[in-house]
Structure 1
Amino acid sequence: MSAAKKANSNRDDYLRMYRQMVRIRAFEDNANQLYLSAKMPGLTHMYSGQEAVAVGICEALTCDDKITSTHRGHGHCVAKGANFKEMFCELLGKEEGYCRGKGGSMHIADQANGNLGANAIVGGSMGIATGAALSARRLGKTDVTVCFFGDGATAQGLMYEVMNMAALWRLPVIYACENNGYSEYTRTDEIAAGSITARAEAFGIESHQVDGQDVLAVNKLATDLVARARKGEGPFFIELMTYRYHGHHVGDINREYYRPKDEEAEWKSNRDPIANFGKWLEDQKIVTNDELVSINKDIKAQAEEAVAYAEKAAYPSVNEVDMHVFASSAA
Structure 2
Amino acid sequence: MEDKTRADLYTTMVQIRAFEEAILADYHADKKPAWDIGAGLIPGEMHLSAGQEPVAAGVCAHLDNRDAVTATHRPHHFAIAHGMDLNKLAAEIYGRETGLGRGRGGHMHLFDPMTHFSCSGIIAEGYPPALGQALAFKRQGTGAIAVAVTGEGAANQGAFHESLNLAALWNLPVVFVVEDNDWAISVPRAASTSVMSNADRAAAYGIPGVRVEDNAVEGVYDAADEAVQRARSGGGPTLIEVHTLRLWGHFEGDAQAYRPELAEVPARDPIPTYEQQLIADAVLDETKVEELRAEARQRVEAALEFAKSSPTPDPSTATQYVFA
Q: TM-score, normalised by structure 2?
A: 0.92
Identity among equivalent pairs (%): 34
Classify 1:212/1:238 alpha carbon distance in 2 versus 1 (closer, same or farther; 3 Å).
farther
Residues 128-167 of structure 1 show CA distances to partners (whole Å, capped at 9, x for unaligned) of 1111111111222211111000011012111111111111
- Give the 3-state SS of the residue equivalent to 1:249 in structure 2: coil
Residues 226-254 of structure 1 show CA distances to partners (whole Å, capped at 9, x for unaligned) of 011111112110110011011110020x2
Counterpart position of 2:182? 181
Mapping of 1:1-331 within 5 angstroms?
A: 10-37=2-29, 38-115=40-117, 117-195=118-196, 196-211=198-213, 213-252=215-254, 254-256=255-257, 258-260=258-260, 263-269=261-267, 271-318=268-315, 320-326=317-323
Aligned-partner Cα distance in 2 for 1:198–1:284: 34
Deviation at 1:11, TM superposition (A): 3.3
Q: Which AA in structure 2 matches 1:23? A: Q
Counterpart position of 2:37? none
Give the root-mean-square deviation of aligned CA atoms: 1.7
Deviation at 1:39, TM superposition (A): 1.4
Aligned-partner Cα distance in 1 for 2:44–2:239: 32
Q: Which AA in structure 1 matches 2:292? A: I
**More deviation in 220-229 or 50-59?**
220-229
Contact 1:94 1:316 in 2 (8 A): yes
Which consecutive segments of 4 or more residues in structure 1 shift more than 4 A? none
Deviation at 1:309, TM superposition (A): 2.5
Note the residue ranges of structure 2 that are not aligned, 5 or more in a row.
Answer: 30-39
Aligned-partner Cα distance in 2 for 1:212–1:303: 28
Aligned-partner Cα distance in 2 for 1:183–1:17: 27
Q: Which AA in structure 2 matches 1:16? A: D
Deviation at 1:318, TM superposition (A): 4.3
**More deviation in 178-187 or 139-148?**
139-148
Q: Which AA in structure 2 matches 1:29? A: E
Q: TM-score, normalised by structure 1?
A: 0.90
Counterpart position of 2:36? none
Aligned-partner Cα distance in 2 for 1:148–1:54: 9
Q: Which AA in structure 1 matches 2:152? A: D
- Give the 3-state SS of the residue equivalent to 1:105 in structure 2: coil
Residues 104-141 of structure 1 show CA distances to partners (whole Å, capped at 9, x for unaligned) of 010112221121x1110000111111111111112222
Aligned-partner Cα distance in 2 for 1:133–1:190: 33
**More deviation in 299-308 or 34-43?**
299-308
- Give the 3-state SS of the residue equivalent to 2:150 in structure 1: strand
**More deviation in 214-223 or 28-37?**
28-37
Q: Which AA in structure 2 matches 1:229? A: A
Q: Which AA in structure 1 matches 2:45? A: L
Aligned-partner Cα distance in 2 for 1:64–1:27: 24
Q: Which AA in structure 2 matches 1:100? A: R
Aligned-partner Cα distance in 2 for 1:176–1:296: 28
Counterpart position of 2:32? none
Note the residue ranges of structure 1 that are not aligned, 5 or more in a row.
Answer: 1-6
Aligned-partner Cα distance in 2 for 1:57–1:212: 16
Counterpart position of 1:4? none
Deviation at 1:300, TM superposition (A): 1.8
Contact 2:59 2:220 in 1 (8 A): yes
* Equivalent pairs, count: 313
Q: Which AA in structure 2 matches 1:259? A: R
Aligned-partner Cα distance in 1 for 2:286–2:18: 19
